[in-house]
Amino acid sequence: MMILIGATAIACPLYMWIERETDGAVSWSGLHERVLSLFHSSDGQGGILEKIAYPCILFFPLLTPFAATWTIALLPIQLSARRESLRRLASRPGAAAAFSAGNTCILVIAFFFINFIFLGPYKHNSHTTSVSFELEFLMSPIIIGSSVLASWMMQLIGKRWRANSGWVDRLGRALGVFWLIAGAASTGLLILQ
């Protein structure tokens, strides 16, 4: 349990960095302003569906830093929770979601840092780098959600789906469902922009 608390502590500054690099485009205050504009806007621009869908869709990418650190933290918890064979561990959907999403999270974070090292820090005054960072940030749940979907489809096709009732497997399944929904929400957010 302490690993998850540490993961949350890592996610908070990571979220603040993302909010700063996107110039507030991806932030809780931006979501709050969008929701307030639903009730105070009478300009007639855009359909009501778009006005309601945008804040709902934006909610999931805002949770991405927290879900990413929890997913990575779930990897050692999955391995140390029980002394099971790797074959049995791989048949649990929570473990499969944690391994596929965790490894993909590590690759996505490595990609962010490689971009940061070779291309330099994202400039606050340049609109193109902010848009580029926002696009990379919105693409990450799509990539991670796709990896969870692929691992679960392989389990279903191979008839290896054996869910466990333990909290570790349930948390893995919940994070897997989050990544699927966040990937769909990010896709919708990219379409609406």
CA pair distance 151, 17, nearest whole angstrom: 31
CA pair distance 150, 147, nearest whole angstrom: 5
- The owner of tokens 């064979």 is 85
H/E stretch holding 39: helix 28-40
> What pTM does this model have?
0.77
- For 127-152, the pLDDT digits (tens) are 445 556 667 777 888 999 999 999 99
Structure tokens at 57: 């869709």
Query: What confidence score (pLDDT) does residue 157 get?
Result: 92
Rounded to 5°, the CA angle 55-59-60 comes to 135
Closest CA to 124 of 7, 41, 21: 21
Contact 112, 136 (CB under 8 A): yes
Contact 60, 181 (CB under 8 A): yes
The residue that leads in pLDDT, 31 or 153, is: 153
The residue that leads in pLDDT, 14 or 96, is: 96
DSSP label of 27: S
